[in-house]
Structure 1
Amino acid sequence: MPKHIKALKCPQCGSTRATLIREDHYRCDSCSTEFFLDSDDITIHHKHETVPDNSNPFSFIQSQFSAHPKRSLLIAGGASFAFFLLVIIGNLTSSRSMDRVAERIAASQGGYGYTGTLKERMSYDLEPIELFASAAGRPVVVVCGSAYQMNTSSKNAQGFVRLYDGETKKVLKDIQLPDLKGSVDVTGLRQFGDGSVYLILNKKHLYRIDPSTLDMKEIHGEDYKVAEFSEGFATVEFVYRDNGDGLKVMTNLGKSFVYYPIPNKLYGEKMAYKGYLEKLPAPKVGTHFTFSRQTTDYEDQQIQLVRYRTLEQVGYPYDEPDFGWQKDYGGSGIFTDASPYRKVFVLPYTAERSRLQGYEDFTPGAYYFSPAVLHEAADRVLISFKPTAASDATRILRCLDAQTGKVLWSYSDEEDHFAYTLKTTRFSGGYVVASSSEAWVLTNDGKLKEGTDFHKVVEGED
């Protein structure tokens, strides 16, 4: 049969430009469609394959959309809906989290000055918590530190003091310290015999907290009617707790003193011991509790809980007696085992400095290891100790009748909550006992009511 000459056209795009790839098989130079010819030159079969255009990253998507338009529209619509749903949920979650942080750090009267619209997350540098009792008999937890917006330098941190009710966790006062920038270090907190609460920060800033109103005011050298302090404080810290309600002060002129604010008594740093020997104007007999110590003279002697009485007056210099079996050599001046000595529980000059009036072993026969007196009062005394010498022994809290020594209750648990207990205050419902960041409420009958990490409360995590 004769063949007829016809123009060779691509069945896909109609282009007449084609390349022979094998007998009767061609590839369109325009759209890359492959096709071949039947022997009768009538039927043209074609196979269309699109070569990806690497210069266009959306070429594959475009080809898929062209080949399957309905399915592509459904997939694209579903993906868009899922994306916008995730964005909405993420924004709601982030907004609620930031709002919660903002509410936590928003100041009440005299606070940071932040408002409820604050969205910036905060970073905190927090110091170990402190405790004291308000004039109303409530337990107050003191959290000191500095706060700054996240992703900014800690050099921009602003100091603050926040007071919480130790039982209810309610914020009682939120106090901004505009003069304290950067880090804040708690030098100490002490509640003096007249109820006044003193707080020292950065070993330089002395504050007094009113136990009735909980207002806090910085005390400067000129606030005291002492000429030596007129130039201000270079450094200030508390005297040892065993020595009463006093302050160790170095003035800006480099002079060092020991000062007792309640009686307004000032001593040179090296002459403060004279205050322990001075006659008190209106002394009273006070009863206290302490543990004796083991000495190198008699290392095998048992530690005792001692109840003792001293002549004292609120706020005046004081020297707590040191009990423990030791050798008293008297006036021989030769400190050797060969010289005459007496075995005594308290040295004579110690008894004189502390104005000691009498003492006794309060719990004869009891064993104590690593003990501490946590709180004392006319009716009760709270102590902490390990029952054995084992390093892993669980610490026990024990409340005793301060008159009879009867055990009112004891508490310990497997978690050993009180292994590092440092501070205690008492209120009508029991005791609040605190470590560096946590505080626990113990009821009057020795039940652990709850524990709170106040650092997490400040940071908005609790």
Structure 2
Amino acid sequence: MATRIKAVKCPQCGSEKHEQLDEKRYRCLNCGTEFFLDDDDINVNVNHHYDFQSSNFLNNDLSTGIKLAIGAVVVPLIVVFVIAIFLTTSSSGSSSDSSSSTTVRDLYTLVSPMNNKGKPCVFYLVERNFNTNYSSTGSKYVNGYYMGFRDAITGKVLKEQLFMSEDDADKQSISPSSDTELSYLKQAKHWYLVLAGRFVYEVNPATLTITDVSQSFFKGKQAMNTGIASIKFIYPADGEGFKVENNIAESYYYFPATNRLYTEEAFNYARQLSPSQLNGEVRDTLYWQLISKSPNNNTDRKGLLRLWNIHAKYHLGDPQDFVFYDWFYGTFSSDRGGRFVSATPMTGWFVGFNGQFIYQDAHYALIYFNPSLASDARSMFRLYDKTGKILWTQVLDRFSEVVGGERVGNVIWIIGKRNRRNTYDDMHAYGFDISTGKWEKGAELSTEYTIE
């Protein structure tokens, strides 16, 4: 008869959950026991030899999931770790390379073109910071104030020296970037540099030397035995000299061309001496003066310029009173010492703003001005001969500052600066050929660069 079982239970665990392998064979889903039914006696026969574990399906799936999860976490970590090692290696390599280089930042306090034995050079004073990749105690560079000379064409440093370290300046409460002036005194035939209102240096571009003359200036002058408390150039109209104060607050005027030291009273008296009272220490002088005035009474903007030739008697190397032009009345008049001779207009009035002299000698006058007040008004350079004739005019992109100039051979050199809003200022040397007006762009005075 046919086999009919309503409920087949596992003979091993008693579970009714099973799967039918064929017509008479079954497998328990709980413990994996295989068994079959015999039709004749309805016996349950158990096969104890099996290779099945019901929980392994779940365990295998779970193991696979865990492995995948672990892999998803571990593999990226391994990748990140490898990349980190690579970057660290690269960084250490690059830092070892960069440790041999130093970024230098220069803040120019003063620049001026000069003549180095027929070659143009630039004298400069900078506040310098060395940005190194190692501690300042181990640095071979010293932050501070440096001065020196550069080739105006190539930019090569010709000579340089440290004036004062940043630490020493702080200790002495000295700021070389303030109360610092440079001037060429024609009677003495020397460049002089006043630093921080306390030191005087003689600058010699021919020998590329910068010499401290603060003490030798006053050698043998008892009034200055207490030392210099302050020193500065006097106004050019008062002569070629210095106003100096000693350490007991006494003021004097010193003129290096004659090596004379004047008290305040003696200085004012000497300025008013007539040529006949100067004991032959006088000569005729002719020089140019650029006069400016407002175009009308409704503005104080001085937008009109005019060149004049001044003839006067010059007291050699001593006090002067060369304020001949009356700005209120717009006329020339004789000074108190009677040294004014005449003033001759060399040009008519012409439109020009921010006018200044760049260079003048007995034959030429080079001036600089802007043609309008517009923010983008360009910079104009104009050369005149001794008769007031315009030889040439050159127009360049607007400069924010022009310094100079110095004639070297047939070229007049200046320093032109342009302010940059989002980066470092642009500062270069420029040379103008006197004969043709053709200009050349010389060396850049960089404010940031790298050294090894």
CA RMSD of aligned residues (A): 4.1
SS of residue matched to 1:311:
strand
Change (3 A) 1:388 1:303: same
Structure 1 equivalent of residue 111 of structure 2: 130
2:437 — aligned with what?
446
Shift of 1:89: 5.9
Q: Deviations over 1:169-215 (max 9, x none)?
A: 12121112257534422510111113311111111111112343122
Out of 138, 146, 161, the position equivalent to 2:147 is: 161
What's the TM-score once normalised by structure 2's chain length?
A: 0.70
Specify which structure has the higher proportion of strand.
Answer: 2
Q: Which has the higher contact order (CA 8 A, sep 6+)?
A: 2
Match of 1:140 in 2: 121
* Secondary structure class of the residue paired with 2:402: coil
Aligned match of 1:287: 286
Over residues 71-129 of structure 1, what are the superposed CA-to-partner deviations in whole Å (9 max), with x where a residue is unaligned? 999x699747843663366247525xx43x4xxxxxxxxxxxxxxxxxxx5555x3433
Q: SS of the residue aligned with 2:332?
A: coil
Q: Is the 8 A contact 2:367 2:383 kept in 1?
A: yes
Q: In the aligned structure 1, how far is the partner of 2:294 from the partner of 2:245? A: 34
1:336-384 C-alpha deviation (Å, 9 max, x unpaired): xxxxxxxx7212336x46x222221111353433321111012221101
Counterpart among 409, 414, 423 of residue 392 in structure 2: 409
- The correspondence for 2:169, drawn from 170, 181, 206, is 181
**Contact kept? 2:109, 2:127, Cα under 8 Å:** no
**Distance between the aligned counterparts of 1:52 and 1:145, measured in 2?**
69
Partner of 1:420: 401
Q: Is 1:90 the equivalent of 2:74?
A: no
Percent identity, aligned pairs only?
Answer: 18
1:191 lines up with 2:200 in the alignment: no
Equivalent position of 1:254 in the other structure: 249
1:312 corresponds to 2:329: no
Give the secondary structure class of the aligned counterpart of 1:373.
strand
TM, length-normalised to structure 1 = 0.68
| 1:43 and 2:38 matched | no
Equivalence for 2:355: 371
Matches of 1:76 and 1:293 in 2, distance apart? 72
Cα distance 1:72–1:290, how it changes in 2: closer, same or farther (>3 A)?
closer
Q: Which amino acid in the other structure matches residue 199 of structure 2?
A: H
Pick closer, same or farther for the CA change 1:87–1:368 going to 2, 3 Å: closer
- Are residues 1:213 and 2:195 paired? no
Q: Which amino acid aligns with 1:433?
A: I
1:319/1:286 CA distance change after superposition, 3 Å: same
SS of the aligned residue for 1:273 comes to helix
Q: Is the 8 A contact 1:305 1:362 kept in 2?
A: yes
Please state how far the C-alpha of 1:232 moved relative to its aligned partner: 0.9
Question: Contact 2:431–2:442 at 8 Å: present in 1 too?
Answer: no
Query: Which residue type is aligned with residue 43 of structure 1?
Result: F
Instruction: Return 5+ residue gaps in structure 2 as ranges.
Output: 1-7, 19-28, 35-49, 418-424
Contact 1:280/1:313, CA 8 A, preserved across alignment: no
Say which SS state the counterpart of residue 146 (structure 2) adopts: strand
Identify the residue that residue 114 of structure 1 maps to in structure 2.
none
Check whether the contact 1:222–1:230 (CA below 8 A) recurs between aligned residues: no
Distance 1:136 1:411, change over 3 A: same
- Number of paired residues? 377
Q: What residue in structure 1 maps to residue 340 of structure 2?
A: 356
What's 1:347 paired with? Answer: 333
Q: Which amino acid aligns with 1:323?
A: Y
* Cα displacement (A) at 1:149: 4.7
Structure 2 equivalent of residue 433 of structure 1 = 414
Residue 149 and residue 275 in structure 1: after superposition, are their counterparts in 2 closer, same or farther (change >3 A)?
same
**Contact residue 111 and residue 403 of structure 2 kept, 8 A:** no
After TM superposition, give the deviation of residue 425 of structure 1 in Å: 2.1
- Structure with max Cα Rg: 2
129 and 323 in structure 1: CA distance in 2 versus 1, 3 angstrom threshold:
same
What one-letter code is carried by the residue in structure 2 that aligns with 1:442? G
Map Cα deviations across residues 409-456 of structure 1 (whole Å, 9 max, x no partner): 21223x312x42243222225222225672331230333422554242
Whether contact under 8 Å (2:12, 2:33) holds in the other structure is no
Letter in 1 for 2:313: L
* Structure 2 residue 383 is the aligned partner of structure 1 residue 399: yes
- Measured in 2, the distance between the counterparts of 1:359 and 1:267 equals 30
Please say if residues 281 and 316 of structure 2, whose CA atoms lie closer than 8 Å, have aligned partners that are also in contact.
Answer: no
